[in-house]
């Protein structure tokens, strides 16, 4: 992110301890005004703790949290002017939709008629107009989700915090709401921080993806940067679906190819020099692997399973470790047949077998 | 015999048996005495006719007599004061304690459990303890109030007609507070935490959160506890027997104690039954509120 863009939320050296447990380790994160940032990682990685620390629901042990130029470490949540959409939605069950929407306004002493008008405006944009008199228990999951969103929108907060807001919806609705949330973000010119364990949500919605593991930010950047240049094996395996194949490999003597453990002569050319004999992990994305009908591909393996969704076929090989590759449409091969697989040299990711860090093109 | 076993095995009829036993028990042990009591209130009953059912019916004579007695209205008034003050005291103290323990400091649940000791103790024991505390000459309550400068001279709590009812009320509040606290604690912990977090982010301070989230979410619990309180308070007998015996001069007498006094000390069974029937009406109303409020649970 360039220096010219205005910072909305800035975390510097943030740590969070629960007793002996170190939940957040030296978090540095800059969130520009108007950006959509996704915090993504497996459960227990600290992404929710980080979000709740921004909201003030958790206090950070050390470091600095600055929101819109003000240091907020010790400011209570109600004075931070952030709106949060909870995974459970946290709608007030004893209030109607309208009362849920206007709650924050009524707390601030906004006049009744004015609050009602604001609620109607927001409801019109989120498709809740006909439901204002209903109680949360009378709504479907998707409608509750909209109420939770509307309750956040009505406040015009400094930033929206989303804590896995779509995980309670069914798959079809989730895909739809993904687009809707992003469209809403763009229309409001809002700043959004979005926690999810679903890397597809992160990749499709965010301008800036932050991958976390065990309280540490492993990598952050534009979604496709993470896809193209993952800094280590963890990020490489986490970003992309189906997940990247990892194959132990050794650098060949020619320094321009690697030897795969699938038997004699399975050399894979790479586009960077590698010191001979070095133990490596080769990362091969399923969508980059292609079946070579001439049989001249560098990898030759038997097919173990074929799964077809109609639009794609997932072919897994009978090898250790197995290799998954994706082809468009129907599978050109059948179970048990021997296939020849190729990959463009620039698509081969290489990681150090010990540190699991990326070996860059220049290296 | 075989059919009974097979019906147990395949579950047919077993569900009916499960209902029949408690219903039969309820009918024999609670229903019949209740009906018997109502019938007695319309009869002329004395020591000689006590052993038979064939007693002369007198219509509403017992009720007319009851409400023409000079002590009836003061005793009903005492009962109302006792019920309202006891419930208010128990509820407010119980809610305050429940909120206090809700903060979950180290040892909170352990200490909260300890509070229940007061509720498990027999009323007569509680009465004996409070007799000492309330004692006019050497009672610790008088000492405390004097030391705090609230009173000048000793109050004779149990024998002063102005204070005798309040002596029982104070003891009853102490007795019932922990029960209120436990039920209210359960109600508090049933409120999802994220509602408070959402309200906090929506700008509500602690006081606003209490009024707009805690209290409305506790509505059914509060309704249940107040109607249960009404039932328990109208049942409270031991404390009167132990502390004031309804005296002096009926100044601390209440209907439940009076019913017993009429029936088993003055052997006026008809009058005792009549005052009981009047109480049943009130307890029924409380029960309806209780059932309705527990049915009307608000849960997201």
Q: Is the pLDDT of residue A136 over 90?
A: yes
pLDDT at residue A1 in the model: 44
| Mean pLDDT within B84-105 | 93
Of B211, B300, B217, B188, the C-alpha closest to A107 is: B211
Chain B residues with CB-CB distance to A94 below 8 A: 216-217, 219, 298
Nearest by CB to A136, from B194, B199, B300: name it.
B300
Same-domain status, A234 and A249: no
Q: What is the largest CA-CA distance in chain B?
A: 80
Distances (CA, A) of B247 to B124, B167, B240, B261: 17, 11, 9, 12
CA nearest to A58 within chain B: B197
- Say whether residue A108 is in contact with chain B using an 8 A CB cutoff: yes
Same-domain status, A169 and A293: no
Distance CA B109, CA B188 (A): 14
- Phi-psi region at B212: left, alpha or beta (left = phi > 0; alpha = psi -120 to 50): alpha
Q: Is the pLDDT of residue A2 over 80?
A: no
| Distance between A155 CA and the closest CA of chain B, angstroms | 8
Q: Which of B202, B216, B222 to mutate to test the interface with A (most CBs of A within 10 A)?
A: B202
Nearest by CB to A93, from B197, B201, B299: name it.
B299
Judge contact between A269 and A319, C-beta under 8 A: no
| Mean pLDDT within B14-18 | 83
Q: Is residue A357 part of a domain?
A: no
- Say whether residue A104 is in contact with chain B using an 8 A CB cutoff: yes
End-to-end CA distance of chain A: give it in Å, rounded: 26
Distance CA A95, CA A101 (A): 9
Q: What is the largest CA-CA distance in chain A?
A: 79
Q: Which residues of B20-44 are buried (b: 16+ CB within 10 A; e: fewer)?
A: eeeeeeeeeeeeeeeeebeebbbbe
Q: Is the pLDDT of residue A362 over 60?
A: no
Same-domain status, A112 and A222: yes
Burial class (CB in 10 A: 0-12, 13-18, 19+), B12: exposed
Nearest by CB to A93, from B202, B208, B298: name it.
B298
**Summary mean pLDDT of chain A:** 90
pLDDT at residue B297 in the model: 54
pLDDT at residue B300 in the model: 39
B14 compared with A211, residue with greater pLDDT: A211
Q: Which of B193, B195, B198, B218 to mutate to test the interface with A (most CBs of A within 10 A)?
A: B198
Q: Is residue A20 part of a domain?
A: yes
Distance CA A334, CA A327 (A): 13
Residue A188: CA atoms inside 13 Å, Cβ hemisphere, count? 25
Residue B48: CA atoms inside 13 Å, Cβ hemisphere, count? 1
Which of A238, A261, A277 finishes a domain? A238
Q: What is the DSSP string of A218-282?
A: EEEE-HHHHHHS-SBHHHHHHSSSSPPEEEEEEE-TTSSEEE-TTSTT-EEE-SS---TT-EEEE
Judge contact between A10 and A32, C-beta under 8 A: no
pLDDT at residue A102 in the model: 94
Range of the domain at A12: 7-238
Same-domain status, A222 and A255: no
Q: Is residue A99 part of a domain?
A: yes
- Say whether residue A197 is in contact with chain B using an 8 A CB cutoff: no
Per the structure block, which two tokens stand in for A333? 């091969």
Which of A218, A238, A258 finishes a domain? A238
Contact B197 A137 (CB under 8 A): no
Judge contact between A6 and A32, C-beta under 8 A: yes
A23-27, A300-304, B57-61, B201-205: least confident range: B57-61
Same-domain status, A167 and A218: yes
Q: Is the pLDDT of residue A363 over 50?
A: no
Q: Is residue A361 part of a domain?
A: no
Judge contact between A24 and A1, C-beta under 8 A: no
Distance CA A86, CA A95 (A): 17
- Say whether residue A82 is in contact with chain B using an 8 A CB cutoff: yes
Distance CA A189, CA A192 (A): 9
Q: Is residue A360 part of a domain?
A: no
- Hey, where are the domains in chain B? 70-295
Query: CA angle, A117 as apex, A116 and A121 as ends, to 5°?
Result: 115
Percent of chain B topping pLDDT 70: 94
Same-domain status, A271 and A208: no
* pLDDT tens-digit readout, A347-358: 999 999 999 999
Contact A94 B298 (CB under 8 A): yes
* pLDDT tens-digit readout, A96-106: 999 999 999 99
A120-124, A149-153, A167-171: least confident range: A167-171
Of A92, A56, A72, the C-alpha closest to A8 is: A72
CA nearest to B193 within chain A: A90
Nearest by CB to A55, from B201, B205, B212: name it.
B201
Given CATH 1.10.260.40, say whether it is the number of domain B70-295.
Answer: no
| Mean pLDDT within A332-344 | 90
Q: Is the pLDDT of residue A304 over 70?
A: yes
Nearest by CB to B197, from A57, A103, A155: name it.
A57
Which of A210, A238, A266 finishes a domain? A238
Per the listing, tokens 């036993």 go with B21
Query: CA angle, A180 as apex, A177 and A186 as ends, to 5°?
Result: 145
Nearest by CB to B198, from A76, A86, A137: name it.
A86
Count of structural domains within chain A: 2
State residue B112 phi and psi, 5-degree precision.
Answer: -65, -40
pLDDT at residue B8 in the model: 61
pLDDT at residue B282 in the model: 83
A15-24, B205-214, B241-250, B251-260: least confident range: B241-250
Judge contact between B93 and B180, C-beta under 8 A: yes
B131 compared with B7, residue with greater pLDDT: B131
* pLDDT tens-digit readout, B143-178: 999 999 888 888 888 888 899 999 999 999 999 999
Band (A252; pLDDT cuts 50, 70, 90)? confident
Of B226, B86, B232, the C-alpha closest to B168 is: B86
Query: CA angle, A169 as apex, A165 and A174 as ends, to 5°?
Result: 80
Burial class (CB in 10 A: 0-12, 13-18, 19+), A134: middle
Chain A residues with CB-CB distance to B298 below 8 A: 93-94
Same-domain status, A148 and A292: no
| Mean pLDDT within B283-294 | 80
Q: What is the DSSP string of A45-66?
A: SSHHHHHHHHHTSS--SEEEEE
Distances (CA, A) of A240 to A200, A230, A283, A286, A321: 8, 11, 12, 9, 19
Per the structure block, which two tokens stand in for A67? 């929101």
Same-domain status, A212 and A289: no
């Amino acid at each position: 992110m360039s220096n010219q863009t205005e910072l909305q939320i800035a975390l510097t050296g943030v740590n969070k301890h629960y007793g002996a447990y170190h939940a957040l380790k030296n978090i540095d994160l800059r969130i520009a005004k108007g950006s959509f940032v996704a915090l993504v990682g497996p459960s227990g990685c600290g992404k929710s703790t980080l979000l709740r620390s921004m909201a003030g629901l958790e206090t950070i042990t050390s470091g600095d949290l600055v929101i819109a130029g003000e240091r907020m470490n010790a400011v209570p949540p109600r004075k931070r002017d952030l709106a949060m959409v909870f995974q459970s939605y946290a709608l007030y069950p004893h209030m109607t939709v309208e009362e849920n929407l206007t709650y924050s306004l009524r707390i601030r002493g906004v006049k009744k008629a004015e609050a009602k008008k604001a609620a109607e405006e927001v409801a019109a944009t989120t498709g809740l107009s006909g439901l204002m008199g209903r109680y949360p228990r009378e709504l479907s999951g998707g409608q509750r989700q909209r109420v939770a969103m509307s309750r956040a929108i009505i406040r015009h907060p400094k930033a929206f915090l989303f804590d896995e807001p779509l995980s309670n919806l069914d798959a079809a609705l989730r895909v739809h709401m993904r687009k809707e949330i992003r469209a809403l973000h763009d229309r409001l010119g809002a700043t959004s921080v979005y926690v999810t364990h679903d890397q597809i949500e992160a990749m499709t919605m965010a301008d800036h993806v932050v991958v976390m593991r065990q309280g540490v930010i492993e990598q952050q950047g534009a979604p496709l940067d993470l896809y193209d240049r993952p800094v280590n094996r963890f990020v490489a395996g986490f970003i992309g679906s189906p997940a990247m194949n990892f194959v132990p490999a050794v650098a060949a003597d020619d320094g321009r190819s690697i030897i795969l453990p699938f038997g004699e002569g399975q050399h894979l050319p790479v586009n960077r020099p590698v010191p001979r004999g070095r133990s490596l992990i080769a990362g091969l994305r399923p969508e980059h692997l292609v079946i070579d009908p001439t049989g001249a591909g560098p990898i030759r393996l038997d097919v173990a399973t074929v799964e077809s969704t109609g639009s794609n076929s997932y072919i897994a090989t009978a090898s250790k470790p197995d290799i998954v590759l994706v082809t468009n449409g129907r599978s050109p091969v059948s179970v048990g047949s021997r296939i020849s697989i190729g990959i463009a040299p620039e698509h081969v990711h290489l990681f150090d077998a010990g540190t699991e860090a990326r070996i860059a093109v220049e290296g | 015999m075989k059919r009974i076993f097979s019906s147990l095995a395949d579950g047919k009829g077993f569900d009916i048996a499960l209902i029949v036993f408690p219903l039969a028990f309820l009918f024999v042990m609670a229903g019949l005495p209740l009906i018997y009591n109502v019938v007695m209130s319309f009869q002329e009953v004395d020591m000689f006719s006590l052993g038979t059912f064939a007693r002369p019916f007198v219509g509403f004579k017992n009720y007319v007599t009851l409400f023409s007695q000079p002590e009836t209205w003061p005793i009903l008034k005492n009962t109302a004061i006792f019920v309202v003050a006891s419930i208010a005291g128990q509820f407010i103290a119980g809610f305050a304690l429940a909120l206090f323990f809700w903060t979950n400091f180290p040892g909170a649940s352990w200490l909260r459990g300890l509070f229940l000791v007061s509720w498990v103790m027999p009323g007569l024991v509680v009465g004996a303890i409070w007799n000492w505390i309330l004692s006019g000459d050497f009672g610790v309550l008088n000492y405390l109030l004097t030391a705090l400068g609230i009173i000048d001279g000793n109050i004779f709590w149990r024998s002063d007609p102005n204070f005798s009812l309040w002596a029982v009320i104070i003891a009853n509040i102490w007795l019932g507070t922990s029960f209120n606290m436990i039920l209210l604690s359960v109600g508090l912990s049933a409120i999802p935490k994220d509602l408070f977090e959402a309200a906090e982010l929506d700008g509500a301070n602690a006081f606003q959160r209490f009024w707009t989230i805690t209290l409305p979410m506790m509505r059914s619990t509060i309704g249940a506890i107040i109607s249960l309180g009404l039932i328990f308070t109208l049942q409270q007998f031991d404390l009167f027997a132990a502390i004031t015996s309804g005296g002096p001069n009926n100044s601390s007498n209440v209907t439940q104690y009076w019913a017993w006094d009429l029936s088993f000390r003055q052997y006026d069974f008809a009058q005792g039954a009549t005052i009981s029937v009047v109480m049943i009406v009130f307890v029924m109303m409380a029960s309806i509120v209780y059932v309705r409020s527990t049915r009307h649970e608000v849960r997201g």
